Structure 1
């Protein structure tokens, strides 16, 4: 359960939107509900201290973003349920510390008998988190789902003749496709790892469906994006692709292949 993938959007822009919304929500909530000693503030004090509470909430959210991005990259651009739980634990801890410092050294500085830490937690901070966390959870989940839809829309689908055959990939992750009797073997990247998958289809069908793939041989289609260098052996021409994949270039396709690949390396 903890290792299950969780919707996540790494866009800093969207996280700043969440932080801004959080700041507005905290201010509005405190201003109109006046929990505890907020009602004791004069109107001018409300307009000073309550926006600061909102800014503190936004700051507590944003301060974790560098750590969040580090965890995301360390997990090969994946985000899991345990990653989301870790985020909220750190957010709550940091928020409690900063809110307590703000209360002691700004709100009640110089006054006698401030709230004890336990009373402050029980009557102010914990109720506040019960209204704040749902906003953050919803915002993060909604942006994560939106990111997934955007990502899926950018993928291509290499279909097979069977009902359940096929691959959904980013075009840039397709390295090459090789014909194998009534099947094609798709070489593609998953993260930094090279993988291959056998699909029942014809190379000619895929060549028509994906004209951005380059025909080098009656048995091969390549993605020009992965071209590395030329190679000649025994008077035959080959192209070297990423991950040391070697693909032959037949005389029939040499002129077109050289034109396309030489233009991509200029």
Structure 2
């Protein structure tokens, strides 16, 4: 089943390699900066009127956040150890984990240590909205920038490689699917148009059906009964619903767009 344009792009975006901080020395340096930043805001700006509490107790909030971030660092190190690469999806999950652990830790510390009350759940959401969320809005972009700045890209050698097989045993095309522009059916064959070395456009002819190729290239998008396109190169829709064409980056020829797919692609593109 063909992907929608939005889903195809979202899947690719989440799978895309993202910069990862591997050295523990750098991880600890970022942790220290986060701790110092939060401590400065709490001690000197006093956004939540914590002036009546002892300074050492106020630093406990920062320690709760630091502990949460430490758990995240250990978790991401284990994940990276097994996956050997890092994606935007992995990075996003770490931010979510960091926020949830921080919210629970800070809420517990505020109730049990600062206020001396018994831990209960009823005020967790309201406390998170008043206290944890503002700090997250303030510091998560900074943490994200630091992680991106000090991080490096780690990609698997064959992370984007696909093998497209035709009905004849000798018909095999192995390549990076991000280099494919489109696949077009022609009688009993399918033409694969792709970007070769030095940005030269080339074609390969496989004895196959478009549906067979579609199964092997799930990231491509169907726009016509004879065409599959790579949504990464889609730049414009021209014409109207009766007669429309697609413009792909790096390609001069026009790709037909059938009425079946016109509304969805037009809406998603605009």
Normalised by the length of structure 1, the TM-score is 0.49
- Higher RCO by CA contacts (8 Å cutoff, separation 6 or greater): 2
